Amino acid sequence: MAKANLFYAQSGGVTAVINASACGVIETARQHKAEIGKVYAGRNGIIGALTEELIDTSKETAATVAALRHTPAGAFGSCRYKLKSLEDNRAEYQRLMDVFRAHNIRYFLYNGGGDSQDTANKVSMLSQKEGFPITCIGIPKTVDNDLPVTDNCPGFGSVAKYVAVSIREAGLDVASMCESSTKVFVMEVMGRHAGWIAGAAGLAAEKEGDAPHIIIFPEIAFNKAAFMRKVKACVKRHGYCAVVVSEGAHYKDGKFLADAGGTDAFGHTQLGGVAPFLANLIKQELGYKYHWAVADYLQRSARHIASATDVEQAYAMGKAAVDFALAGKNAVMPTIVRKPGKSYRWTVGEASLAEVANVEKPMPRDYITRDGFGITQKARDYFSPLIRGEDYPPFKNGLPDYARLKNVLVTKKLPIWKAP
Amino acid sequence: MAKANLFYAQSGGVTAVINASACGVIETARQHKAEIGKVYAGRNGIIGALTEELIDTSKETAATVAALRHTPAGAFGSCRYKLKSLEDNRAEYQRLMDVFRAHNIRYFLYNGGGDSQDTANKVSMLSQKEGFPITCIGIPKTVDNDLPVTDNCPGFGSVAKYVAVSIREAGLDVASMCESSTKVFVMEVMGRHAGWIAGAAGLAAEKEGDAPHIIIFPEIAFNKAAFMRKVKACVKRHGYCAVVVSEGAHYKDGKFLADAGGTDAFGHTQLGGVAPFLANLIKQELGYKYHWAVADYLQRSARHIASATDVEQAYAMGKAAVDFALAGKNAVMPTIVRKPGKSYRWTVGEASLAEVANVEKPMPRDYITRDGFGITQKARDYFSPLIRGEDYPPFKNGLPDYARLKNVLVTKKLPIWKAP
């Protein structure tokens, strides 16, 4: 029998370091040519497996593969596509099996969040039943940091560093001008269900008076009166107020702040995000001149300011996934395990896919200050090591020199796939 | 007579490198202790001169002053405050004279844009008449890059680098996901009257298909139909479309796009900036899923990704201002002069304050492609050297370690200033 091939796919929202995991996968597989044939990557994630669009990574030079380590976003394409339950859409799983069989794929490495780990788990189970057993290994990835079991998720540390650096810099800007100009600055960050990213921005404040002064978490229902009191007190005391707000900020009844502003003149829901909404609310209530920023994709693609810890861990997760597969493990995901002790040390652990599938981990309540607007020392101790170290990409003509892949597709062997 | 003191003030919107100019001023002045007494900095810019809030920079250590070179925003505070004409508010100028006289200030170095150079020019003239001649030297600063005479303005190169890096990174993000998710990404950048910043973002696109695909300049009236056609063609061809829009984008009649969206349910003018407006317009017309970002202050304070060329020039301008003052020059501003030739070389030139006061320099038409949505090779040749080189600040615990000043005020000698 020909050597078994490996299929790697990126899933869901991309990050500054998901390609570092890809780099770990490909480089490690290339070191085990006796056991692993080719590494195929799904074009646009799992969709590429369904459509039989498999990228042959062996066509990429060692230098290009190495450059993936410093290249943000999904080099092979990713997608938001969740396979339905086996009962609802068995044909889709069957198609995966068919493609894997046709290309002698015996290893499936799925780089994503909780949904993806669920899918990988199901593929593993089904493949056993079908008599074409596929080794399924998850690789953790999410900027939201909401996967269980693992201490943190690759992708998070770099967003965390970006938002903390950004609010420190913008905070200095506002502080310089507040006497005669902008008094309130609101920065919106990602995190619809969990406030990890917003919380990490709190690292920027090291001394009394430093930005950010207020953080709004999705874990705490928004209390407008308390918020306004705090903004006012902050401007009185420090001359300005820098606010970090999670996109998932919501009222007690679960309604997002961003959705609360009604519709515009055309009857469309208000365009802005939560940052402009909140800034305007402050203007109405307190009269302060404001500015706001919405970093959106800038935050999760900011490879230029990636955390070295994050890059290292992303690579290690990719490498560990291949090592796990070669060691005969199945339906597991490597995790990051924080070792006890004062100085930060971590090691690679292991979780079953069943454990991590579809579970969301919110910020613990004791990471948030009692008033709900800041982070505790416990949170700082958790966040701080994750943003440590700089891992700058190479630059050319003043711009980061990111990998450009050939992304050559493997010749198809099956009929065209039609979604059932 | 005691040695003459020097007064330095920062004016208008701050930048990632205005403190590098301050560093150039203070370090150079400290090398000329025979000629220059103390360097006082205006607390919150020129307002500090009116209120007699003078920061004694001699209280800062050499290490702290050196750290200004890598610290963004205005370390002494800046302000948006334009002195009125001499006729309208002679008392204000008189007060400046009084404060300068009381503190034996014979040198006035004003670090700002066109307005500030106008003020410095007037102070120079008035001081001659008053018989207390003050040497007034301008130091160029503006992220907008709209000062005349000088080839470019300190502050601009770093914003330019930030926006080009950001749209390259976010572009890769969107490209990874466009098959099943976001198809259009709109990034709003600064520049109300001139499109230099928006134009510089165009450097990110080096090959056909690279982001950004469309740039909207304040120099070109917005043509909705042409824009929609271009967005549609771009999505068809490349799968996605990345747009950079200047905050000053406007219709033929001069109305800003950002103001065109009407009011929300409360009757307030729409909250969002031009990015959400444009993204929503595309959704309405073409149905594409979108994301948008507004970098706002993040872009002009992003010292972590400053251009080394910019930092060097900002420092050089500060140094040159002191050198000019010591050489007996007056009512002038150092400029950046681009030397002819293929490789980028520059030198320090000189402009009279009268020449630069209150003149705005828009992007030349031949920097913009014929269709109005991109930059020409001529623009690339101009922009490219300005973003070259990285000049990372030192980091501590994963975050940039920016200067913290003591900002000790000099004892006041005059009655409290009351604005007339």
The domain that holds B263 is classified in CATH as 3.40.50.460
> Which residues does chain A have within 8 Å of residue B210's beta carbon, measured at their own beta carbons?
none
A143 is in an annotated binding site: yes
Residue A375 lies in a domain: no
pLDDT at A197: 98
Residue A261 pLDDT grade (very low, low, confident, very high; cuts 50, 70, 90): low
Determine contact, residues A348/A315, Cβ cutoff 8 Å: no
Backbone angles phi, psi at A156, to 5 degrees: -70, -50
Determine contact, residues B107/B135, Cβ cutoff 8 Å: yes
Residue A264 pLDDT grade (very low, low, confident, very high; cuts 50, 70, 90): very low
Q: Do residues B286 and B339 share a domain?
A: no
Inspect the interface and report whether the beta carbons of B293 and A291 lie closer than 8 Å.
no
Inspect the interface and report whether the beta carbons of B78 and A280 lie closer than 8 Å.
no
Q: Do residues B279 and B176 share a domain?
A: yes
Residue A420 pLDDT grade (very low, low, confident, very high; cuts 50, 70, 90): low
SS3 of residue B224 by DSSP: helix
Q: Do residues B15 and B110 share a domain?
A: yes
Beta bridge partners of B390: B307
Q: Do residues A63 and A118 share a domain?
A: yes
Quick check: A261 contacting B, CB < 8 Å? Answer: yes
Residue A226 lies in a domain: yes
Count of domains forming chain B: 2
Measure CB to CB from residue B400 to each of A168, A284, A304 and give the nearest one: A168
pLDDT at A85: 80
Final residue before a domain boundary, out of B278, B301, B324 = B301
Quick check: B343 contacting A, CB < 8 Å? Answer: no
Inspect the interface and report whether the beta carbons of B168 and A400 lie closer than 8 Å.
yes
Q: Is the pLDDT of residue A120 over 80?
A: yes
A94 is in an annotated binding site: no
Ranges assigned E (strand) in B157-234: 184-189, 214-216
> What secondary structure letter does DSSP report for A249?
-
> Which residues does chain B have within 8 Å of residue A21's beta carbon, measured at their own beta carbons?
none
Measure CB to CB from residue A291 to each of B44, B71, B297 and give the nearest one: B297
Half-sphere exposure in the Cβ direction for B312 (13 Å, CA): 15
Could you tell me the residue range of the domain that residue A73 belongs to?
5-142+307-359+391-400
CB pairs A-B closer than 8 Å: 242
A52: left (phi over 0), alpha (psi -120 to 50) or beta: left
Residue A260 pLDDT grade (very low, low, confident, very high; cuts 50, 70, 90): low
> Which residues does chain B have within 8 Å of residue A397's beta carbon, measured at their own beta carbons?
203, 384, 387-388
A322 is in an annotated binding site: no
Type of residue at B80? R
> Which residues does chain A have within 8 Å of residue B115's beta carbon, measured at their own beta carbons?
none
> pLDDT by residue (tens digit) across A42-61?
999 999 999 999 999 999 99
User: Other C-beta atoms within 10 Å of A193: how many?
Assistant: 15
Residue A51 lies in a domain: yes
B389: left (phi over 0), alpha (psi -120 to 50) or beta: left
Distance from CA of B33 to the nearest CA of A (A): 29
CATH number at residue A321: 3.40.50.450
Distance from CA of B304 to the nearest CA of A (A): 8
A374 is in an annotated binding site: no
Q: Is the pLDDT of residue A292 over 80?
A: yes
Measure CB to CB from residue A301 to each of B169, B273, B294 and give the nearest one: B169
- Average pLDDT, stretch A260-281? 65
Measure CB to CB from residue B169 to each of A13, A72, A179 and give the nearest one: A72
A144 is in an annotated binding site: yes
Measure CB to CB from residue B169 to each of A80, A273, A302 and give the nearest one: A302
Determine contact, residues B102/B49, Cβ cutoff 8 Å: no
Question: Nearest residue of A to residue B397 by CA position?
Answer: A388
Inspect the interface and report whether the beta carbons of B165 and A399 lie closer than 8 Å.
yes
Q: Do residues B227 and B327 share a domain?
A: no
The answer to whether the bond into B148 is cis (omega within 30° of 0) is no
Q: What is the pLDDT along chain B (420 residues), one digit of tens a residue?
A: 579 999 999 999 999 999 999 999 999 999 999 999 999 999 999 999 999 999 999 999 999 999 999 999 999 999 988 888 878 888 899 999 999 999 999 999 999 999 899 999 999 999 999 899 999 999 999 999 999 999 999 999 999 999 999 999 999 999 999 998 999 999 999 998 899 999 999 999 999 999 999 999 999 999 999 999 999 999 999 999 999 999 999 999 998 898 755 444 344 444 458 999 999 999 999 999 999 999 999 999 999 999 999 999 999 999 999 999 999 999 999 999 999 999 999 999 999 999 998 888 999 999 999 999 999 999 999 999 999 999 999 999 999 999 999 999 999 999 999 876
- Rounded CA gap, B70 and B303, in Å? 7
Residue B266 lies in a domain: yes
Helix (H) or strand (E) holding B173: helix B156-177
> Which residues does chain B have within 8 Å of residue A242's beta carbon, measured at their own beta carbons?
none
Mutate to test the interface with A, among B68, B300, B399, B407 (most CBs of A within 10 A): B399
Beta bridge partners of A42: A54
Q: Per the structure block, which two tokens stand in for B262?
A: 């009407």
Distance from CA of A1 to the nearest CA of B (A): 35
Residue A384 lies in a domain: no
Quick check: A298 contacting B, CB < 8 Å? Answer: yes
Inspect the interface and report whether the beta carbons of B185 and A297 lie closer than 8 Å.
yes
SS3 of residue B363 by DSSP: coil
Catalytic positions of B are 144
Q: Do residues A121 and A179 share a domain?
A: no
Residue B375 lies in a domain: no
> Which residues does chain A have within 8 Å of residue B13's beta carbon, measured at their own beta carbons?
177
Quick check: B401 contacting A, CB < 8 Å? Answer: no
Rg (CA), chain A: 23
Q: Do residues B297 and B193 share a domain?
A: yes
Q: Per the structure block, which two tokens stand in for B319?
A: 């140094």
Determine contact, residues A165/B304, Cβ cutoff 8 Å: yes
User: Other C-beta atoms within 10 Å of A58: how many?
Assistant: 16
Quick check: B149 contacting A, CB < 8 Å? Answer: no
- Rounded CA gap, A39 and A56, in Å? 7
Determine contact, residues A105/A99, Cβ cutoff 8 Å: yes
Inspect the interface and report whether the beta carbons of B44 and A180 lie closer than 8 Å.
yes
pLDDT at B270: 45
Inspect the interface and report whether the beta carbons of A271 and B263 lie closer than 8 Å.
no
> pLDDT by residue (tens digit) across A223-250?
999 999 999 999 999 999 999 999 999 9
> Of A263, A262, A260, A257, which Cα lies nearest the Cα of A243?
A257
- Average pLDDT, stretch A193-221? 97
Q: Do residues A36 and A114 share a domain?
A: yes
> Of B316, B309, B328, which Cα lies nearest the Cα of B137?
B328
> Of A279, A263, A283, which Cα lies nearest the Cα of A271?
A263
* Average pLDDT over all residues of chain A: 94
Alpha-carbon separation of residue A237 from A232, A281, B299 (angstroms): 9, 20, 27
Q: Is the pLDDT of residue A265 over 70?
A: no
User: Across chain A, which distance is largest between two alpha carbons, in Å?
Assistant: 76
Between B90-102 and B114-130, two packed helices, what is the crossing angle to 10 degrees?
70
Owner of token pair 């899923």: B289
Rg (CA), chain B: 23
Inspect the interface and report whether the beta carbons of B169 and A261 lie closer than 8 Å.
no
Inspect the interface and report whether the beta carbons of B280 and A271 lie closer than 8 Å.
yes
Catalytic positions of A are 144
Determine contact, residues B285/A290, Cβ cutoff 8 Å: no
Determine contact, residues B214/B154, Cβ cutoff 8 Å: no
Inspect the interface and report whether the beta carbons of B293 and A292 lie closer than 8 Å.
no
Q: Is the pLDDT of residue A255 over 60?
A: yes
Helix (H) or strand (E) holding B243: strand B241-246
Q: Do residues B171 and B81 share a domain?
A: no
Alpha-carbon separation of residue B210 from A26, A64, A71, B305 (angstroms): 26, 18, 15, 21
Residue A178 lies in a domain: yes
Beta bridge partners of A336: A348
pLDDT at B82: 84
- Rounded CA gap, B13 and B336, in Å? 20
A299 is in an annotated binding site: yes
Inspect the interface and report whether the beta carbons of B402 and A168 lie closer than 8 Å.
yes
> What secondary structure letter does DSSP report for B269?
B
Q: Do residues A270 and A286 share a domain?
A: yes
Inspect the interface and report whether the beta carbons of A261 and B261 lie closer than 8 Å.
no
Residue A318 lies in a domain: yes
Measure CB to CB from residue A292 to each of B13, B291, B296 and give the nearest one: B296
Q: How many Å from the N-terminal Cα to the C-terminal Cα in chain B?
A: 32
B64 is in an annotated binding site: no
Final residue before a domain boundary, out of A301, A320, A343 = A301
A142 is in an annotated binding site: yes
Beta bridge partners of A256: A250
The β-bridge relationship of strands A105-112 and A5-10 is: parallel
- Rounded CA gap, A264 and A391, in Å? 44
B142 is in an annotated binding site: yes
Q: Per the structure block, which two tokens stand in for B95?
A: 């007060």
In this prediction the ipTM stands at 0.97
- Average pLDDT, stretch A137-144? 97
Q: Do residues A102 and A160 share a domain?
A: no
Q: Do residues A55 and A101 share a domain?
A: yes
